[in-house]
Structure 1
Amino acid sequence: MDVSVTNAQVTLVQLDNYGPWTVTPEPRREADLQTMQSRLYADLSQFFGTRDGYVFFTRFDNMIAVTNGIDRAAHARLQESLRNRYPVTVSLGIGAGANPADALVDATAHLQAAGSAQDAERREVLAGDPLDDDERTDDDVHIAHFDVNDATGKYTDELDAFSTFVRIEQGYASLMRALHDDHDGLAFFVGGDNVIALVPELARETYEAVIERVREEADMSLKVGVGAGRTATDAGMAAKHALEVCREDATTVEGDVAIRN
């Protein structure tokens, strides 16, 4: 049986009144919107990354960051920096929980309580409290880094680019549902054939069952490296090293303290 011992801190990054802004005073060119979104995501990734956090783009007007160890003052500095460089502002909801899904629910509730995402009067909300230092431990964050087995040989070198994209997205959707609905985890596609998930502590057999479900639903074979740490960077690097062990030893699940036998 899985036992969650994580202490997740998640920040929901939400662009203020973004939908109406994109069509005011008239519809803006899609190329300009895509360029702004990608630059904004890059800046967020750099900001959180230099503070040992991760951010994932999800829908771009809503992004999700793993922010263990990042305090409220840093969140406020981020809002100020973006306000000075972009034509849009962002609201930030900080949530914490015993598992990632609960932490995101908490973060989301803070922003929803402050007003709609399309409320023209809602600007730069900063709501919710980061974890106190005395609440934190050295294995608060658990990261699972999934990789498709032989994606190049099976898909990239065999199918056209869009068909490959469809197959990868189908596998990602299956994995995302399995981790979120059954195990309170949050999985994010990060490019190529890689998915990074913020998870509670899960048993080895749970990862094996999730991988089997994806194989059955999407006809896709996965491997995963799992790591734990005080911050997203600590856990993520441990997961990357564990994934390399999978590649070298042709195994399915590898990891450190996040794997319980």
Structure 2
Amino acid sequence: MTSTQVTLIQIDNYGPWTVTPEPRREVDLQTLQSRLYADLSQLFGNREGYVFFTRFDNMIAVTNGLDRDAHALIQESVRNRYPVTISLGVAVDERPAAALGRASTLLQDAGSAQDETRQEILQGDPLPEAERGPEDVQIAHFDVNDATGKYTDQLNAFDTFIHIEQGYAELMRYMRNAHDSLSFFVGGDNVIAVCPDLAEEEYRDAVDHVRDMVGVELKVGVGRARTAQDAGMQAKHALEVCREHRTDVELDWRLEEAGAGDSF
């Protein structure tokens, strides 16, 4: 059974700040958002977590292994580097979407995201070390089949983007509704999904659903581990087996049982 620890990252009072004392240039706001995401990716990544940008003013992290002190240090680092602060809500659940729901409620109960008096909230209880296990996090790394041949080398860049985004949007909706999973576009033609304990057939159903609904063909490698980064690397290795063997779904632990993952 999975125990996914999710941290909701919310920039404090960001909307009003962008227009105070007058509207700020969009290029400056985009630069701040991208730099903040990059720094948070490194700050959480140095502690074996994953951060996904979503809307940039709200970001979602998988943070198994990070305690309250680690979260507070990240808040301090942001405060020292940026003209904005961040609030953090932390929750744990077998189902990633349920964990995010509780993390969201913690911040909502502390005040509005546009309330100037709500700053650097840190709410929630990280997963105690004694309750952590070797299979707490399950990560699925989806990839579009032959995206370069079908789209990049055939269509203009914007139409290619439309096709990739259609696949991502349908996958995101399906995995959320069917499995309480959280799926995130991570660039190129890649989507990473944070999942509960799903079986091979359930991943195969997701691949079939996206193909049938929007005509985008996917493959997926799946890993599970104690932390998000370890599970993500296992998923990458399984995805490489998909590419090599031209299969749609590979589970890293099945490959290990069969001895197919030895080359990695």
Q: Same fold (TM over 0.5)?
A: yes
State the one-letter code of the partner of 1:83. Answer: R
Q: Distance in 2 between matches of 1:258 and 1:69?
A: 25
SS of corresponding position for 2:171: helix
1:193 aligns with 189
- 5 Å-filtered alignment, 1:2-17, equals 5-17=1-13
Whether 1:204 and 2:164 are equivalent positions in the alignment is no
- Structure 1 residue corresponding to 2:243, chosen from 241, 247, 255: 247
CA apart distance, 1:258:
7.8
Contact 2:237-2:252 within 8 A present in 1 as well: no
State the one-letter code of the partner of 2:236. Answer: K
- Structure 1 residue corresponding to 2:36, chosen from 27, 40, 46: 40
1:151 aligns with 147
CA apart distance, 1:6:
0.6
Q: Distance in 1 between matches of 2:201 and 2:70?
A: 38
Q: What whole-Å deviation, never above 9, does each CA across 1:22-44 have from its counterpart, x for those lacking one? A: 01111000000000000000000
- 5 Å-filtered alignment, 1:50-199, equals 50-199=46-195
Q: Distance in 1 between matches of 2:211 and 2:38?
A: 33
The alignment of Structure 1 onto Structure 2 pairs a total of residues equal to 255
Q: Distance in 1 between matches of 2:131 and 2:31?
A: 39
Contact 2:174-2:206 within 8 A present in 1 as well: yes
Q: Distance in 2 between matches of 1:255 and 1:216?
A: 23
CA apart distance, 1:106:
1.1
2:232 aligns with 236
Q: Distance in 1 between matches of 2:82 and 2:159?
A: 36
Whether 1:25 and 2:18 are equivalent positions in the alignment is no
SS of corresponding position for 1:202: coil
Contact 2:175-2:182 within 8 A present in 1 as well: yes
Unpaired segments ≥5 residues, structure 2 = 256-264
State the one-letter code of the partner of 1:132. Answer: P
Unpaired segments ≥5 residues, structure 1 = none
Runs of 4+ in 1 over 3 A off after TM superposition: none
Cα-Cα RMSD: 1.0
Question: So what's the TM-score if we normalise by structure 1?
Answer: 0.96
State the one-letter code of the partner of 2:138. Answer: H
State the one-letter code of the partner of 1:231. Answer: T
2:258 aligns with none
CA apart distance, 1:205:
1.0
Q: What whole-Å deviation, never above 9, does each CA across 1:56-79 have from its counterpart, x for those lacking one? A: 000000000000001100110111
The percent identity for this pair of structures is: 68
